[in-house]
Amino acid sequence: MKNICILGGGSWGTALAVVLAKKGYSIDLWIRDKKQCDEINNARENLKYLQGILLPNNINVTDDIINAVSNKKIIVSAVPSHAVRKTMKAIKEHLCEEPIIVNVAKGIEIDTLLRISEIVAEEIPHAEYAILSGPSHAEEVARDIPTTVVAAATKKSVAELIQDVFMTPKFRVYTNPDVVGVELGGALKNVIALGAGISDGLGYGDNTKAALMNRGFVEIARIGEAMGANKMTFAGLSGIGDLIVTCTSMHSRNRRAGILIGQGNSLQEATESIGMVVEGVKTTKAAYQLSKKYGVIMPITEEIYKVLYEGADVKNAVVKLMLRDKTHEIEDIVNEDEFLW
């Protein structure tokens, strides 16, 4: 248990490596790119993704994925969601008998519309699974700024184990049995954050962003419930908590990409400018497809999809949202035959 592997040397994987190393764990941090791996080992700092944070000596940075995962009970998967399946295929023959895969990425597989827990179950059926999610920018976590997250697993013992492993005086971990809700909240808030960024890029104000966040939250809860999640989960850290931080912070790649799009940049120009994976771009496509699959009304998601993938004008998208048919604020629970003023 004192030896943990983290797959993925982006900002979040690196930040979590620092958190665990400070607790005394020996960390093997796997990075796919050998050049970047050598640079980090030489500088003891991830200059590309997390500048200013020195890596403790008990973090071993390696490009050898087999050695990284061998004899490790806990494997933290910090690769982008689109790379999870490929990564699981690469390691599944080299794991111990009962590994725990802790996913910290937030996304949905485009081709299959599967959540990450479902991908792991397909590729490594003998593994236990947990997800760590919540309002947690790597730049702040690595600098010991107080942060709270949630660990979700279908087994209470697994969630509590991950809680114990990650918990520190500056990194508080709650538990939740609703894996579906925690995964969807973490993934879908990135779509709304793109919309919040577009609003900022257009020069709209706090009123507009508050409306987008609130009605976006309704959409997330709506599709989440249709997919088997508990609605109350979306009122927690992985739902409204993560939505707030991602829609309002300049640490958020999704918000920053949205700002650039709102200012008139193309999707390609925006993502290239960010220089890191913008999970919300692919998740928007998946969310739109899920809304059609489950017959769930998600107007904000639909308009963002049209802006990203169909070249729709961003200002017209806002007008269309404002001029939708009149309805109740709580239309999901109001029945006109029973609800009378």
From 189, 209, 285, 306, active-site residue: 189
**48 tagged catalytic:** no
Q: Do residues 243 and 252 touch, judged by C-beta distance below 8 A?
A: no
Distances (CA, A) of 286 to 109, 129, 161, 187: 7, 22, 31, 10
Task: At 232, give phi and psi (nearest 5°).
Answer: -65, -25
Number of Cβ within a 10 Å radius of residue 94: 15
Number of Cβ within a 10 Å radius of residue 170: 14
Q: Do residues 183 and 162 touch, judged by C-beta distance below 8 A?
A: no
Distances (CA, A) of 182 to 15, 51, 112, 131, 226: 21, 29, 19, 8, 14
| Separation between Cα atoms, residue 249 and residue 245, nearest integer Å | 6
Residues 6 or more apart whose Cβ sits within 8 Å of residue 72: 3, 4, 5, 28, 95, 96, 99
Q: Do residues 263 and 201 touch, judged by C-beta distance below 8 A?
A: yes
Residue position matching structure tokens 């507009």: 208
Active site residues: 189
